[in-house]
């Protein structure tokens, strides 16, 4: 019998890679997406159910039709800057839609839940290397909304027996090495795709957001993890839930931080092209350093990141960037 997994946001960057990994691992990923930010062409690896997470009747019908063994919840607004300008959007969209989904899952008796959380829940920790026990003090509404959903999952675990694996992502980068799916946002705000746009002339230049951070070269430091490694961890998290191991939280990062300038230098090396640069102001809501110091996912889930080195991430992103994009 096929093991269905309801993948919210399956038409997005990370969700579409997760669908491929689930399909390859023998599951049927059922994408649930509203196409506010997702792409129809990215739904390639299983059935599609179009709908809004706030539409509880629609969700109930989808749970009844597919009887998923688990939910993987990727659907969210995820832009730090936008969340600073419009916090209401993030609290409403991320928190209320997750509540609707969690209640629908509980009502349908689907007790396994994998959730995409973020290192943005930690806030600015003065360069502290982060792990699952580091206190969370978000400095933007995006991080705040994700932390609220983490709390919600714990409450529904206590009251309804919902088991959740929460993954706190660091900076997700790269693309499917076969370039069937990749990173494509409209508008794009992320460093690596914007830099590749500047390299191939689709944009005039990359603006470096702030050169006066308390780091060696003055630019922000982030921990980049390959999207394929990240979604592999989700499949392991699903297996953990299927094995009845209960709820837990895992950081997903490479354990190494790179500054914006280091990422630029590496991209120039990989593509053998210049990145035109403009020195800009700091972007509100940005922490100076976000680096994972955790090996818990490796230890407990048996996660072995294979492609999370900067060269491979940029090379995979570049391959996709040159050939792939979505129109609808
Ligand atoms: N940056 C620039 N110029 C740009 C874009 C980004 O200098 O044009 C810098 C940012 O200031 C930051 C770094 O590059 O220092 C990475 O920025 P991204 O926008 O690529 O990623 P973020 O670190 O802001 O965000 C990512 C995820 C979020 C997550 C967050 C945690 O997209 O979902 O990490 O901070 F919450």
CA angle, 87 then 189 then 32, to 5°: 70
| 222, 231, 286 from 171: Cα distances, Å | 7, 13, 13
- CA separation for the pair 163, 271 (Å, rounded): 44
Bridge partners, residue 5, by sequence:
29, 70
Nearest CA owner, ligand 1 atom 33? 78
Catalytic residue, chosen from 32, 142, 169, 213, is 142
The model carries a pTM of: 0.97
Indicate the DSSP class of residue 96: I
Structural domains of the chain in order of their starting residue, each with its CATH number: 4-173+224-252 (3.40.50.720), 191-222+255-323 (3.90.25.10)
Nearest CA owner, ligand 1 atom 36? 120
Cα 121 to chain centroid distance, Å, stands at 13
Nearest CA owner, ligand 1 atom 19? 190
* 108, two tokens: 């349908």
Span from the CA of 172 to the centroid of ligand 1 (angstroms):
10
- CA separation for the pair 9, 11 (Å, rounded): 5
- CA separation for the pair 221, 129 (Å, rounded): 12
Burial of residue 151, with CB atoms counted within 10 A of its CB: 0-12 exposed, 13-18 middle, 19 or more buried: exposed
Is residue 142 annotated as a catalytic residue, yes or no? yes
Pairing of strands 206-209, 277-280: parallel
**ipTM (interface pTM):** 0.96
The verdict on the CB of residue 112 being under 6 Å from ligand 1 is no
Q: Which atom of ligand 1 is nearest to the CA of 118?
A: 36
The verdict on the CB of residue 125 being under 6 Å from ligand 1 is no
Please report, in tens digits, the pLDDT of each residue of the chain (328 residues total).
Answer: 789 999 999 999 999 999 999 999 999 999 999 999 999 999 999 999 999 999 999 999 999 999 999 999 999 999 988 999 999 999 999 999 999 999 999 999 999 999 999 999 999 888 789 999 999 999 999 999 999 999 999 999 999 999 999 999 999 999 999 999 999 998 899 999 999 999 999 999 999 999 999 999 999 999 999 999 999 999 999 999 999 999 999 999 999 999 999 999 999 999 999 999 999 999 988 889 999 988 999 999 999 999 999 999 999 999 999 987 787 6
* 102, two tokens: 């969690």
Nearest CA owner, ligand 1 atom 18? 190
Q: Which atom of ligand 1 is nearest to the CA of 209?
A: 7
């Amino acid at each position: 019998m096929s093991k269905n997994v309801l993948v919210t946001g399956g038409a997005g960057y990370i969700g579409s890679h997760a669908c491929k990994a689930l399909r390859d691992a023998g599951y049927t990923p059922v994408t649930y997406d509203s196409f506010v930010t997702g792409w129809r062409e990215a739904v390639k690896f299983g059935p599609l159910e179009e709908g809004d997470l706030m539409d509880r009747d629609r969700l109930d019908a989808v749970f009844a039709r597919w009887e998923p063994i688990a939910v993987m919840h990727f659907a969210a607004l995820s832009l730090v800057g936008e969340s600073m300008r419009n916090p209401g959007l993030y609290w409403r969209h991320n928190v209320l839609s997750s509540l609707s989904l969690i209640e629908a899952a509980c009502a349908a008796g689907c007790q396994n839940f994998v959730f995409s959380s973020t290192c943005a829940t930690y806030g600015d920790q003065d360069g502290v290397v982060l792990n699952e026990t580091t206190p969370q003090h978000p400095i933007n509404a995006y991080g705040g909304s994700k932390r609220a959903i983490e709390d919600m999952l714990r409450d529904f675990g206590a009251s309804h027996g919902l088991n959740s694996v929460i993954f706190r992502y660091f900076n997700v980068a790269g693309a499917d090495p076969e370039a069937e799916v990749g990173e494509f946002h409209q508008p794009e705000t992320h460093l690596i795709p914007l830099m590749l746009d500047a390299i191939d002339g689709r944009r005039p230049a990359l603006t470096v957001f702030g050169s006066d951070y308390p780091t060696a070269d003055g630019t922000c430091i982030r921990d980049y993890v390959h999207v394929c490694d990240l979604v592999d961890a989700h499949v392991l998290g699903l297996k953990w839930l299927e094995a009845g191991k209960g709820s837990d939280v895992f950081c997903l990062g490479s354990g190494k931080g790179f500054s914006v300038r280091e990422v630029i230098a590496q991209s120039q090396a990989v593509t053998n092209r210049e990145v035109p640069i403009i020195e800009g102001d700091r972007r509100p809501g940005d922490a100076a350093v976000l680096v994972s110091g955790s090996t818990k996912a490796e230890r407990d889930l048996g996660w072995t990141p294979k492609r999370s080195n900067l060269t491979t991430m940029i090379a995979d992103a570049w391959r996709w960037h040159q050939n792939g994009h979505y129109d609808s």
